[in-house]
Amino acid sequence: MKMGWNKWRETIFKTSLVLISVLLFLFFDGREFWLTQIQPQLTHVISNKKAEVDNPPVAPEQRFKKPSLARLTNSDTCDHQANLRRFGRCKSKPKAGIKYRVENGIYTWVDEKGITNYSDKKPDSSALSYQPKRNQVIDFFELNISGTHITNQFKNVLSTKLNAVFRGYTSIVGLDAMQKVTLTIKVLPNRREYEQAVRSYGGDPKGSVGIYFGRHNLALVEQRSQYATMQTAVHEAVHAINQAVIGYTPRWLNEGLAGYFQTIKVNMQVGTVYPNSARLDSGYIKGNILPPYDLLNAESDWKSYNTDLMYKSSWAAIHFLMSTAKGRQSLKALMLYEQIERCRSLNHQESSKLLAEHFPNLHDRFLLFVQSPVEPHRL
Residue ranges covered by each domain of the chain:
248-379
Closest CA to 233 of 144, 130, 322: 144
- If pLDDT is split at 50, 70 and 90, which confidence band does 21 have? low
Q: How confident is the model at residue 39 (pLDDT cuts 50, 70, 90)?
A: very low
Phi, psi of 354 (to 5 degrees): -65, -45
Task: Report the percentage of the chain scoring pLDDT > 90.
Answer: 47
Say what the pLDDT of residue 303 is: 77
pLDDT at 35: 33
Q: How far apart are CA 17 and CA 271, in angstroms?
A: 58
Per-residue pLDDT at 25: 42
Residue 48: pLDDT over 80: no
Phi-psi sector, 222: left (phi>0), alpha (psi -120 to 50), beta: beta
Give tens-digit pLDDT for 143-196: 899 999 999 999 999 999 998 998 899 889 987 788 878 889 999 999 999 999
| CA neighbor of 343 nearest in space, from 91, 139, 97 | 91
pTM for this predicted structure = 0.69
| Tens digit of each residue's pLDDT (9 = 90 or more) over 65-121 | 222 222 222 333 445 555 555 555 566 555 545 566 666 566 666 555 556 666 767
Pick from 25-34, 135-144, 236-245, 270-279: least confident: 25-34
Helix (H, G, I), strand (E, B) or coil at 358: helix
Each residue of 308-356: pLDDT tens digit? 899 999 999 999 999 999 999 999 999 999 988 888 888 999 999 999 9
pLDDT at 26 > cutoff 90: no
Q: What is the mean pLDDT of the chain?
A: 76
Has residue 280 got a pLDDT over 70? yes
Distance CA 108, CA 103 (A): 8
